[in-house]
Amino acid sequence: MGARANLRRALDVVDPYVEWIFRVAAVAGVLSLGFVLLIVFSGNIAHLGENPQAADILRNLTLASKVLGVALILAVLGALILMHDDRTIGIGIGIGGLVLVFGVPWLMKAVIVGKSDVPATLAAAASVIVPLRNAGFVLMALGMLKGLIDLFFWLTELPSRMKQRADVGVGKKAEPAQQKIAAHANMFSPCWSLPFCREVIRKQCPAFLAKKRCWKFGRGCYCDEEMIARIVRGESLDVIKAPTRMSRQGKPPCGRCYIYLEHQALKFKVLSPLAFPLTLLIVFFGWHYYEIGFGVFNKTFESVLGMISFDTSKLTPDAIKSTEKTTSTISNSEVVTATKYLFGILGGFFLLIYMSKFFEWVVFKAKL
């Protein structure tokens, strides 16, 4: 909880300035978007080559698209800071980036290129696509970064959340002597070397005397009230070891015990960092098979992928020059290659999330 609290305090300091930047970016984005839509849907794009002011229109369209792309990035950065506690905003930003990367080329092809394929018209379409597609890649990167940060906090806070659910016994603060012992605890430590174990009870605890962890012994000081009562009353060891109502019921409720959850938290602390290198290894050794699968996917849905392709090979040097060299060729192969790597990165990101979920299941659900 400390890391998130420190981040929250740091971001709260810059909130007023970020809010001001967000508002300026929003106004600039709305104005530039209005200008781009006005030019694109005015109906004159198809006849841009016949317009004597074509160079000025292309220059202004390029500038407005650039401003729109920068405004989107600044607005998203502001939203990430102002709404840093929202764990769903990263997904929304990532989806928005996908729309810009794939939706804008499709829209420009349908609205602009579908009307005319003269060089000036293609240059106008490219002047909109390039800045917005670049902004889309930035938005996708920001969305994934937000997801990774949320995943980090989720991993670090998971043990604390699991302990808060504990409802077996009363989790009293560890005694000073026990705190010294527990300071060196690890995932292999027995229950009597972990916090919350009380010395006055440990001396007569059957699990401690048998040198067997309470979750292996079958009952412990936080789950078996009848056994604790016998210890407090000072009864003989034979009476203390005698079966109780809880021990007859079978498996103890370890998943809700403070001591056991402390043990599992130490185990999770060791295992959870392995999710990242394991994900990298799976991606590294599985990339070849992913490329084969993506090739099959590309051939199967070639018509769908063709909808998002945009070929500007008909752009002449003069048309490119009229946009002040701000446009570039967007070929179908580039779109397919970008799509392959994009979905590969997204797949690796989701693999990392589910790998972390797997360790959570292993430690806290399966209790292995």
**What confidence tens digit (pLDDT) does each residue in 40-49 have?**
776 566 566 6
- Low-confidence winner among 45-49, 50-54, 62-66, 353-357 (lowest mean pLDDT): 45-49
Question: What is the pLDDT of the chain when averaged over all its residues?
Answer: 76
Average pLDDT over residues 113-132: 73
Give strand pairing partners of 257: 168
**Do 235 and 313 share a domain, yes or no?**
no
* Nearest 10 degrees: Cα torsion 321, 337, 341, 147: 50
Which is nearest to 62 in space by CA: 334, 335, 328? 328
Q: Which amino acid is at 181?
A: I
Other Cβ atoms less than 10 A from the Cβ of 109: the count is 18
Nearest alpha carbon to residue 15 among 97, 85, 88: 85
Find out whether 298 and 336 touch, Cβ atoms under 8 Å.
Answer: yes
353/300 same-domain check: yes
Question: Based on the domain organization, do 22 and 123 belong to the same domain?
Answer: yes
Residues 104 and 248 reside in one and the same domain: no
Q: Do 10 and 89 reside in the same domain of the chain?
A: yes
Q: Phi/psi zone of residue 107: left (φ > 0), alpha (ψ -120 to 50 degrees), beta? A: alpha
> Which residues make beta-bridge pairs with 168?
257
175: its two tokens: 């005694």
Domain carrying residue 226: 176-180+189-252
Domain count, the chain: 2
pLDDT > 70? residue 230: yes
Q: Tell me, yes or no, whether 213 and 288 share the same domain.
A: no
- Most confident range, picked from 133-137, 177-181, 324-328: 133-137
| Per-residue confidence (pLDDT) for residue 19, from 0 to 100 | 83
Residues 243 and 306 in one domain: no
Residue with the larger pLDDT of the pair 284 and 306:
284
Q: Are residues 90 and 12 in the same domain?
A: yes
Q: What is the distance in angstroms between the CA of the first residue and the CA of the last residue of the chain? A: 26
| 143 and 291 both lie in a single domain | yes
Residues 228 and 312 in one domain: no
What does DSSP assign to residue 14? H
- Do both 11 and 157 map to the same domain? yes
Is position 228 within any domain? Answer: yes
- The pTM score is 0.55
Q: Which pLDDT belongs to residue 4?
A: 60
In a domain, 288, yes or no: yes
Strand partners, 278: none
Same domain, 22 and 121: yes
Would you say residue 258 lies in a domain? no
